[in-house]
Amino acid sequence: MIDEGIKVDLILTDPPYDMPSTKAGGKSELAKSIQGAFDELKNANLTNGITYEFLDLMVQLQDNINIYIWCNLKQIKFYLDYFIDKHKCKWDEIIWYKTNAMPCFHNKYLTDKEYCLYFRKGGYCNPVNYETAKTVYSLPINILDKKKYGHPTIKPLPIIKNLIINSTHEGDLILDPFAGSGTTLVASKQLGRNYIGFEIDEKYVDICRKRINEEVSI
Ligand SMILES: C[S@@+](CC[C@H](N)C(=O)[O-])C[C@H]1O[C@@H](n2cnc3c(N)ncnc32)[C@H](O)[C@@H]1O
């Protein structure tokens, strides 16, 4: 239940991905590394996806739908069904092409892309220049940032900042209901936007607070 007085201008979020259980066979270093990466996400409750009820709550928080949601390939249909079929939104897709993805391609393509879907209905999207208007970002997974902020799925701050520049004005209110290490919140602060973040894990709440207070730039 949402208080009808509370409205946000933009939701930019990175909910848990919907991931099938992984049992990487074999004893090779690669198999161990794949299994380790999956177990790390599972232990952090990052493999169960989210529900349509949760999306309903997000929509209720906006006068105009203006939402960026990170997801994996499997979840794209789930989100399109909800935002396009049900809410008749316009949409776009931002890609983070990971230049150093894990070399895992047995009977499949590399998992070298992350998807950020953008849905709007009356929402604001006005890229300020050619650079912020692009939809594909080629960036490595930053292992140092993952270690520094202790979060397994940290997103690149430069991408998040561009999305915020394109879809909000200074002073607007941005919500990230799955804040993780606080990348959306730090970007919002750096760009003079107001922000609200929710995070279920105390460990990550502490990291968010530190990053916001220190205004650490990554
Ligand atoms: C994919 S991560 C977000 C990472 C973030 N984009 C970053 O750059 O650090 C999702 C986060 O949502 C949190 N989470 C999962 N379920 C939640 C819930 N019901 N309420 C609030 N946070 C939740 C997890 O603890 C995790 O930190």
Residue 25 CB neighbour total at 10 angstroms: 9
Task: Determine the average pLDDT of the residues in 198-211.
Answer: 94
Select the more confidently predicted residue: 138 or 30. 138
**Ligand 1 pocket, CB under 6 A:** 14, 16, 45-46, 151, 153-155, 178, 180-181, 183, 198-201, 204
Which atom of ligand 1 sits closest to the CA of residue 155?
8
Spans of all domains in the chain: 10-153
Tell me the two tokens of residue 211: 């990053």
Contacts of 133 (CB under 8 A, 6+ apart): 127, 166
Tokens 């909800």 — which residue? 82
pLDDT tens-digit map of 72-83: 999 999 999 999
Strand, helix or coil for residue 164: helix
Sequence-ordered strand ranges (E) for the chain: 10-13, 65-71, 90-98, 113-121, 136-139, 173-176, 194-197
% residues pLDDT > 90 (the chain): 69
For ligand 1, the distance from its centroid to the CA atom of residue 26, given in whole angstroms, is: 31
For ligand 1, the distance from its centroid to the CA atom of residue 189, given in whole angstroms, is: 19
For ligand 1, the distance from its centroid to the CA atom of residue 16, given in whole angstroms, is: 6
**What is the pLDDT at residue 218?**
43
Tokens 């198999």 — which residue? 31
pTM of full prediction above 0.75: yes
